[in-house]
Amino acid sequence: MHVTVCGMCGHTHQVGAQCPDCGGCKFQPAAFTGARKSAAQIVQKAADEIAQRGQLRDKSDGERSMKRTVDAFNGLLGRPALTEQEGWLFMCVLKMARATAGKHHLDDYTDLAGYAGLAGECGELQAAANDEVMQFNVDYSKVQPHG
């Protein structure tokens, strides 16, 4: 079987087949060499995707939709439930959950790296605003293992 790398989502697919993950990719057969991605390449792709999402949405600072998302979510609940940073952390957990189900998809890890970076950025901004380190109160006795 000949494979190629989807130019849109980065998954490998059979040559000539439509990407089942993003549905609208442009195949680039020369891009797949059989080499696996390094951690640095995965993190760089995440940074590139943050910038690309900003360009798609006319935002010069890249992807920064979580504040609007948690504001809408909290508005639906009628109470503060999540901070912007907690929204990004939620997305990290979602990507980790997806990475443990089914076949390996590199974008789970690329997205996880991006979400972790965005969560860290929020923490840095909040710490600078408060001049203190963020504290999370987690009751680890209530955390249940999967399975």
Residue 20 counted as domain residue: yes
CA–CA–CA angle 11, 15, 18 (5° rounding):
65
> Do residues 54 and 63 touch, judged by C-beta distance below 8 A?
yes
Same domain, 9 and 63: no
Of the pLDDT bands very low, low, confident and very high (cuts 50, 70, 90), residue 85 is very high
Domain limits at 9? Answer: 1-35
C-alpha to C-alpha distances, 96 to 23, 31, 61, 104, nearest whole angstrom: 23, 27, 26, 12
Residue 147 counted as domain residue: no
What are the tokens at 16? 């000539």
pLDDT at 128: 85
pTM: 0.62
Same domain, 7 and 58: no
Name the domain count of the chain: 2
Same domain, 83 and 98: yes
Please, is 29 exposed, middle or buried when counting C-beta atoms within 10 Å of its C-beta (0-12, 13-18, 19+)? Answer: exposed
Q: Looking at mean pLDDT, say which of 5-9, 32-36, 52-56, 121-125 comes out highest.
A: 121-125
Same domain, 74 and 41: yes
Per residue in 108-145, pLDDT (tens digit) is 999 999 999 999 999 998 888 887 555 666 677 777 77
Same domain, 7 and 75: no
Same domain, 73 and 27: no
How far is it between the farthest Cα atoms of the chain? 56
Same domain, 13 and 27: yes
Same domain, 83 and 108: yes
